[in-house]
Structure 1
Amino acid sequence: MNAWGLLAAAIAAELVATASLKASAGFSRLLPSVMVVLGYGVSFWLLGLTVKKLEISTVYAIWSGAGTALMAVIGWWLFKESLTPLKLASIALIVAGVVGLNLSGGGHA
């Protein structure tokens, strides 16, 4: 798998882990708690593989920014959390920042 595919998989694993964190109810439910540990473990392993091929500043910004933006949408969709105009504007700023980092040439290490 190429570096960008690894990064996408790392983001997906982090999203599963974070959504499971909410579902674990403070680690009082077994299956979601296991998903938290596995999801974050897989995500960090994939990040480790990704930073062998791409600059860590770009990788971390994309991983954390995309994860934050997507988790806000997932929180709204799955957990009925609010998605206010200010949250939407903030998500747009995160996406703009990630795009800016990619356009800055933050590719291969």
Structure 2
Amino acid sequence: MFALLTTALPECIVLTQVAFSALITADGWQSRNRFNRKVIDFVLCSNHMNVIAVIELDDRSHIGREQNDHERDAMLKQAGYHTIRYPSIPTSEKVRTDIESLLMNMHTF
């Protein structure tokens, strides 16, 4: 998937296995425990290291864990990040289309 992302989006920086704590901060241990030890599959950044999107690949290990995924997405959304989930490895064209659509929507607000 890393190779696919870097090929589909050569103008972007792709980070892998990024800790939630690298993107989200919280006061107090109770808040921090909500995302402690959670890892994001891929973080897509601009050349200036601004986060464009969080990309999650939902393989078979996610079956039955949809509520956990929803909670993760909600935490990221609250922090201002967009999550794109793929149930399987997408095509390069699909990734490019999804990111272009996201960027267009971001610039219209």
Higher relative contact order (CA 8 A, sep 6+): 1
Query: Per residue, is there more helix in 1 or in 2?
Result: 1
TM-score (norm 2): 0.33
